[in-house]
Amino acid sequence: MDRSEPEAQRLAPTRRELSRATTSDFDPEASWWPAVALGLWAYRLVFVGRIVVLGREHLRRRGSILVSNHSRASDAIILALLFGPGHSLVQAETFQLPVLGRLLARSGQIALTPGRSREALELAAGCLRRGRPVLIYPEGRLNHGGDLLRGKTGAARLALQSGAPIQPLAVHVPEKFSRTFRGRAYARETVGTWQIGGPAYVAIGAPWQPFSPGAREASGAELRQVTDEVMSRVAVLLNTARSAAG
């Protein structure tokens, strides 16, 4: 039975809870990474036939802003296996989920709270200074294998703030190896697509410095231009991955 609107509002995370998720459990040293890595490899062994990497010569595991398409919830698992211990910007409400939320926080993932993106980017910049990669999905939500959505400017702002290069990526899993699951997390209906079997294709582009060394300011138009360019590069890589899959 569907919950009534008042009850859904009562069960949903409050803004204060989401704010606490941004900072209180944040662990930049990823102290729980071994436990998370074990879970990632278990998923990989059970559900992923193989990982085909295109552009492996560009793979680097230090201090890059990884920018990828967001077609399946499981794509982040593939990227974590390739790039090793790192950090990703995750919707803050995900940190309220039992077990998973605790693991996300203790493995050094960064909660992205509505209205507090600046704070999240500051945490991400600190991770980049420590030499850790940071994963951002500019689309902001799953596209479920469809066309790329218009990117948000967070990755461009982080590149400007940190001076770190942007590394465009694309992950493709053939549709026949994807399954969509529906649930009611966060007191609302949710839809997630996961890889179940078959190979995953990952195309990695060359790191890109969108701003001049020492740059500290950029106009909104410049941030939008950088964002559109990186999304264009992701689109090219996605076509490469799809072509490799046949």
| CATH code: domain of residue 121 | 3.40.1130.10
Band of pLDDT at residue 179, cut at 50, 70 and 90? confident
User: Is the residue at 4 inside a domain?
Assistant: no
Say what the pLDDT of residue 2 is: 37
Q: C-alpha distances in angstroms, 150 versus 23, 64, 66, 115, 145? A: 28, 22, 17, 19, 14
Hey, which residues does 179 pair with through a beta bridge? 194
Q: Provide DSSP, 133-164.
A: -EEE-TT-S--TTSSPPPPPSHHHHHHHHH-P
Amino acid 28: pLDDT: 54
Asked if residue 7 is part of any domain, the answer here is no
In a domain, 5, yes or no: no
The tally of CA atoms less than 13 A away on the side-chain side of residue 53 is: 13
**Arithmetic mean of pLDDT over the chain:** 83
Number of domains in the chain: 1
Of 107, 83, 78, 81, which Cα lies nearest the Cα of 95? Answer: 107
The structure's pTM equals: 0.83
User: What is the band of 73 on the pLDDT scale with cuts at 50, 70, 90?
Assistant: confident
The beta-strand segments (E) located in 173-212 are: 178-183, 190-195, 200-204
Average pLDDT over residues 53-74: 92
In a domain? residue 178: yes
| Backbone region of residue 2 per phi and psi (left: phi > 0; alpha: psi in -120 to 50; beta: other values) | beta
Residue 8 lies in a domain: no
First to last CA, the chain: 43
How much is the average pLDDT of 123-148?
A: 91
Confidence category of residue 64, pLDDT binned at 50, 70, 90: very high
Strand partners for 181:
192
Is 201 a domain residue? yes
Q: Is residue 167 one of the residues assigned to a domain?
A: yes
3-class DSSP state for residue 52? strand
Does 16 score more than 50 pLDDT?
Answer: no
**Token pair of 99, please?**
């077990």
Range of the domain at 228: 14-245
Tokens standing for residue 227: 């964002």
Asked if residue 6 belongs to a domain, the reply is no
pLDDT value at 74 more than 90: no
pLDDT at 7: 37
- H or E element at residue 11: helix 5-11
